[in-house]
Amino acid sequence: MSEKPENEVQLPDPLAMSQKMAAIAERSRQLVTEFLERQASNGGPQNIDPLNIGAAFMEMTAKMMANPAKLVQAQMNLWQDYMRLWQTTTQRMLGAEQSDPLISPERGDRRFKDEAWDENALFDFIKQSYLLSARWIQATVEEVEGLDDKTAQKVDFYTRQFVDAMAPSNFLMTNPQVLRATLESGGENLVSGLENMLDDLERGKGKLAIKMTDYEAFSVGDNIAVTPGKVVFQNDLMQLIQYSPTTEKVYKRPLLIIPPWINKFYILDLREKNSFIKWCVDQGFTVFVISWVNPDGELAHKSFEDYMMEGPFAAMDAIDKATGEKTVNVIGYCLGGTLLASALAYLSGKPRNRKGPAVSRIASATFFTAMTDFEEAGELSVFIDEEQLRGLEEEMSEKGYLDGASMAQTFNMLRANDLIWSFVVNNYLLGKDPFPFDLLYWNSDSTRMPATMHSYYLRKMYQENLLVEPGGISLNSVPVDLGKIKTPIFMLSTREDHIAPWKSTYALTQQVAGPMEFCLAASGHIAGVVNPPAAGKYSHWTSDHIAPSAEEWLEQAEEHEGSWWPHWRDWLAQYSGAMVPARKPEDGKLPAIEDAPGAYVKVKASDSSDA
């Protein structure tokens, strides 16, 4: 018997194919029916431009047309680039020696990793045509004069979204890998892709909820978030987890971690080999972590003040009862860091009683990629203008919260090629199932935002930037002034952070009055933080001095190979006291409620009764 030729074109089974297509048609009909029913129940079509993109591009177009000569010159430059590309491609097709490309993808651009993009003259032409057009579009938009900063930023961001969406790798007929798979499978990949798309539409209830990983491969508390511990306290907003020690002796002063409530805490406890929480326990720290509730409409009234009082302050009261320690070291991650800065300023501004200055409840504060000055808030500020805020508040007023999927989509747009279009190609065009990946499982495990708290945070901080103004906001009638903070601070930022740009986070170094150490890690908002020493990845920068600006600090900073974790541990040890016998959660004065990671973290955004 002869062997089957490699890459032989397969012909699909007509009966099986017709059955699949019939099932797809029926599921599609049902989805359309449900969509129309939802539209009718919601009073007809909704706002077709909730992001207020149209006005920004209308203004950009008007400014552009005011200088037609510049636009004509840009078009001439593009035409000349096209002519050079036609010339080099024609020469290559006629057998001439291949010349250097006119333009190449940026380093790390995985859209064009297939060899055919370079080896095949046609696909090389398609690739370079796209890259030339993308460069021209973005450069033309960037050079428009007369736009205010916010409008220019919005136009630039959504132009890039359009350019990314139009990449030839995203379409069947211009992606060599997809064409190859289609020929080899007889079109089965496209049928499987349709089924995957319908699954995503059904899971998103009519909205495309792209599947990024195998959701069945992970279970919180079973194979992720498995560091042993106990829930020792809970209230409406959070559960407090105390982790079991792994050393005979521990530092006297406990460590409290405040994660962002915009995500689940277990990003710091994915697996044993990359768990920051497990590593801290192994270093001899008594670790407590706040696990925020995934709120529903019943918690719509919860405010930013409530998150402070019922979050870190309630946690510190519980830690005092559990360990007898009235002061703690505290970590605030991202939004948890913004809350930590607010709490420090609140404590610093509280009136002292007659007995004299109270002992500070926070001995040291560590900030992970946390914003306090939102003047230059990066690309997230594209989504914060008056029109969009009003739209969000109207949406939240109906349910009492902001749907977690809305926030997840916003963050995914910041890295659209990696977190949107790569999955469109893999899931829908290639018809493959996504690879099991714990980080993407966490990324998809979204949380909801209570209406009152989220509106306050977006308006007072992102839009009005009042946290940096002395007395700009008051919490429980106490004016907040970051300049009164004298607590020792360790601040970690990450060089490629799209959510909390490091040069913006650096502003806190100029705002507080206490001792400060700043550390810059390579990589981004997640990978730069979750970087265990054993991995041997990424570097970090430190300096003995705090410079007036981020750029000056980096010029004098020293780069070190590997993780920043050991450097931070050495810094924290000086504020952690002597070594004492290890404390087990079950031996404390607070009775254990349940095993870690607790019930709150297991609630999905889709579990709301009014969702």
Q: Which residues are catalytic?
A: 334
Rounded to whole angstroms, the Cα distance separating 263 from 525 reads 13
Distance CA 172, CA 7 (A): 18
Q: Select from 16, 23, 31, 25 the least CA-distant residue to 187.
A: 16
Any bridge partners for residue 610, and if so which? none
3-state secondary structure 358-382: CCCCEEEEEEECCCCCCCCCHHHHH
Q: Are 259 and 292 in contact (CB under 8 A)?
A: yes
Which tokens hold the place of 112? 């064009």
CA pair distance 170, 424, nearest whole angstrom: 7
Q: Which of 308, 605, 295, 601 is nearest to 457 (CA)?
A: 308
State the DSSP H helix or E strand holding residue 277, giving kind and residue range, or none if neither. helix 276-282
Chain-centroid distance of CA 223 in Å reads: 22
Q: Work out whether strand 594-595 and strand 229-234 pair parallel, antiparallel, or are unpaired.
A: antiparallel
Amino acid (1-letter code) at residue 36: L
| 490 φ, ψ (degrees, to nearest 5) | -115, 125
Q: How many CB atoms lie within 10 A of CB 320?
A: 16
Which residue(s) pair with 321 in the sheet? none
Residue from 441, 435, 407 nearest 422 by CA: 435
Query: How many helices and strands (H and E) does the chain possess?
Result: 21, 17
User: Contact at 8 Å (CB) between 194 and 172?
Assistant: no
Q: Hey, is 241 helix, strand or coil?
A: strand
- 10 Å CB burial of residue 279 (0-12, 13-18, 19+) is buried
Nearest to 333 by CA among 528, 513, 548: 528
User: What SS3 class is residue 553?
Assistant: helix
**Contacts for 106 with CB less than 8 Å, ≥ 6 apart:** none
What is the secondary structure of 421-455 as a DSSP string? IHHIIIIIIS-PPPPP-HHHHHHHS---EEHHHHH
Q: How many whole angstroms separate alpha carbon 423 and alpha carbon 413?
A: 13
Q: What are the backbone angles phi and psi of residue 501, rounded to the nearest 5°?
A: -55, 135
Residue 100's Cβ-count burial label (10 Å; 0-12, 13-18, 19+) is exposed
Report the residue count for the chain.
611
Of 452, 461, 269, 261, residue with least CA distance to 371? 461
The terminus-to-terminus CA distance of the chain in angstroms comes to 59
Q: Which is nearest to 375 in space by CA: 195, 191, 230, 503? A: 503
